[in-house]
Chains A and B, each alone.
Chain A
Amino acid sequence: MALFLGSFLCAKGDLLVIKNARILTVTRGVIEKGHILIRNGKIDDVGMDIEIPADAEILDAEGKLVTPGLIDSHSHLGLGPSGGVTEDNEGSDPVTPQLRIIDSIHPDGVPPHKHSFQHALSEGVTTIIARPGSGNVIGGQSAALKLLGKTVDDMILVFPCDMKMAMGRKAYGAKGLMPVTKMGVAYLVRQAMLDAQHYKTAWEKYENERKTAPEKQPPKRDLKNEAMTKVLNRELPVHIHASPVDDIMTAVRLSDEFDFFKLSIGHGDESYKVADELAKRGVIVVVGPQMIVFDDEGNLINLADYLVKHGVEVNIMTDADVVQQEFLRFQAALAVKYGMDPGEALRAITINPAKLIGMESRIGSIERGKDADLVIFDGDPFDIRTKVLKVYINGKLAFQADEEREKLK
């Protein structure tokens, strides 16, 4: 009886086969005319010759192209317009590791970005890493969100997914507060790490003493130090906004000192100058919204491509709303335009960001057992004129192209 009920529930909607598509699996090459079986929100099977259950809903995708759902490695979606009243920079204190980005996100987007989540979906973005802004030295805790759900809580894939910091920004200078200089910025990070160390020691001492003296009072909880302890313990990756090469190396120096977990640099406009330093430490660069830079001699540098060719792992981002969320694939297309391998560019908006948040077993490629987050295109995903036809998240149809939806754009 139970078995019967189970298969009955799966019959409609839960069992879907996308047939005859060109499948860019990302991790396992290209399948020219393949099928994807989706069961209960997961990819049950993928290949040219898979068993297709009789009761499965069939979607013929002949002549179409399927990629994994795209992942934006750095976004401020749902946080309000940059330059306007934003919800991502708590400008009252330069060190705010206790803040949680999920407490600032409106799941529909706020004007002038109302419907920004829908717009993102309509161009194939299924997951974003939402981070606090770069106004503070330590901005707060980031979140990886799937773009499906009514509340931010429904959307959470990983929270917290990293600690956001920013080098070289001196927003407090005008207020006469530290940091006025770049060295002030670095000092504040070091001090916060030392405070966390003290806090951690105090708690460890308490836990030890409690064994023999149960009446011992615990230290006072401190939300800042609690958050930074996770950084200290290497439980939480660190993402640092840094563009000029001095700021990048300050971030690297801090990481060397405190052994940051999975350090990634955001923007990294001058990271090409120290690609070797980054490569040998395994530092990841999240490139964008500036994709192309010019060196001191005026030569064009295709940043993402240059870094990959020099052994640095790269993610590509929009920094939405600096570049709007829906233009993620075009950011990658720019890298391809100036010479990056298209496969590498696709990895930078799929599996690489999945790895950055430790979710490579769930998202970022089309493989058996992974979440059924898929995008169906009517052609080359990097061509400006190509349309997104359907988007699935957890096997659910999250977007479908039609005249009305097109007009929303």
Chain B
Amino acid sequence: MNKSKGLFIFLLLGAAWVVSATVGSENNVLVIKADHILTISQGELNPGMILIKKGKIIEIGETIPAIPEDAVLVDVTQTESWVLPGLIEAHTTLGARSRYGGSNSDETSNPNTAQLLIIDGINPFDKRIKYTRMAGITTAMISPGRQNVIGGQSAVLKLIGKTVNDMTLLSPAGIKFSLGEGPKDTYGKKDRLPTTRMGSAFVMRKALIDAQEYAQKQAAFVKRKEQEKNAVPPKRDLQLEPLAQLLNRELTAFIECYRADDIMTALRIVDEFSLKAVLIGCTEGYRVSEEIAKRKIPVVCSPFGIGPRRMETQDIRMDNSAILAKAGVRVIIKSDEALGMGSLRELPLHAALAVKGGLDKKTALRAITLSAAEILGVSDRIGSLEAGKDADLVIFNGDPLHYHTRVDFVIINGQIVFERMQ
């Protein structure tokens, strides 16, 4: 188990061992040297080196010809270590919902709360953020839960920082929608709309039609202003504003849906309003994989039935992501926040389960890195190991999909934020 023998961190020209806490501070230069580097976008380097400066990847290749004198070297050659981009959890309520505390992820006073920003509900000191980071997950899209039809605006956060402002990579990243049992159960209990699936679809369509009118009014005002300098702008509406951005395809609709009929409802509405959309959950995606594929809509696959099933997730299949991928759908794998195998920390093992279900290994690894970055709109910054991208990386002590493998180092923005005690 212990593969620490060949693991060294040292200053290239310095004499002493480096205390991790000082490694990679603001201007420090970091060099990673490993036998296996999986760039995700440009194949593998066996072996390879990565030069990191001011939080960015400056250079990556088989060798770095000119290593700066002040560079700190992380040398994991002579071990079975694999270097990957930091892993990305594409959909979670991490930090906004606690197992023991209340929920800050679902404002269940109204089925449409498009005006809410998830960043206003996140606690950066939630210990699970740290535990998740220690497992190599460096970025997550944190989003409202599945109880409201329109939950609010999600955000992509790096899992390091004292304030949400420090953590935020992109906010809003999109608008969270939910169809199926979530809203039905929540509002059915209160005898309020929506108590049915068609009720949920209506809530979504009504909001989008209102947003269309709002957008038209805004556009008319912009035109009027050209002639009439003192034209009075229409009243700002915080709920309709983000939905208008959605209609302009400036924002993505993240639609949580599980059963095949709910997936088709989502697709119907996506078609009607020409939305840029991503499906979340999609337990029965295998039943309508062609429908999803022909619209080129990516899917964030739910876990493989590890945790408690609901009625709407009972027909879960381990080959779901493999079938979707085969149909041509871009697949992203997310974890659960359940216990044991389902926990968020075990994201690579969820990818391994997808491989068990028939997904090829390369796609599975892309599904927890670059594919996730692409659908979240942050692939210019993270998701692969390329020059110019953020230096977010994770060093595994073996094949990341093998259950034996542990995380040895986690680096975010060029800083070593976790180092496993050997």
Contact = CB atoms under 8 A, between A and B. Distances in A.
Given A290-B339, A334-B340, A336-B404, A324 B345 contact: no
B346 to A, nearest CB: 7
B130 interface: yes
Contacts of A288: 339-340
Contact of A323 (B134, B341, B345, B355): B341
Interface string A291-304: 11010001010000
Interface stretch (B49-57, B87-95, B307-315): B307-315
B318 interface: yes
Q: Which of A288, A289, A339 has the most CB of B within 10 A?
A: A289
Interface in A323-359: 323-324, 327, 330-331, 333-334, 336-339
Interface in B299-348: 305-314, 317-319, 338-343, 345-346
A219 B318 CA distance: 57
Interface residues of B, number: 37
A323 B346 CA distance: 14
A111 interface: yes
Contacts of B8: none
A315 interface: no
A interface secondary structure, majority: loop
B403 A384 contact: yes
Nearest to A341: B1
A82 interface: yes
Q: Which of A290, A319, A382 has the most CB of B within 10 A?
A: A290
Interface string B409-421: 0000000000000
B414 to A, nearest CB: 23
Nearest to B313: A112
A142 B127 CA distance: 36
Contact of A384 (B134, B309, B356): B356
B308 A82 contact: yes
A409 interface: yes
A289 B340 contact: yes
A334 B406 contact: no
A321 interface: yes
Interface in A112-158: 112-114
Contact of B349 (A321, A322, A339, A384): A384
A313 B379 CA distance: 48
B404 A324 contact: no
B164 to A, nearest CB: 21
A112 B310 contact: yes
B319 A323 contact: no
B401 interface: yes
Interface string A377-404: 0000011110100000000000000000
Q: Which of B134, B312, B355, B356 has the most CB of A within 10 A?
A: B356
A365 interface: no
Interface of B: 1, 127, 130-131, 134, 305-314, 317-319, 338-343, 345-346, 349, 352-353, 355-356, 401-406
19 contacts: A81-B308, A112-B313, A288-B339, A289-B340, A298-B131, A321-B309, A323-B306, A323-B339, A323-B342, A324-B308, A327-B306, A327-B341, A336-B403, A337-B403, A337-B404, A337-B406, A383-B402, A384-B349, A406-B319
Given A289-B340, A298-B127, A337-B405, 7 more contacts: A288-B340, A290-B340, A291-B340, A322-B339, A330-B403, A333-B403, A384-B349
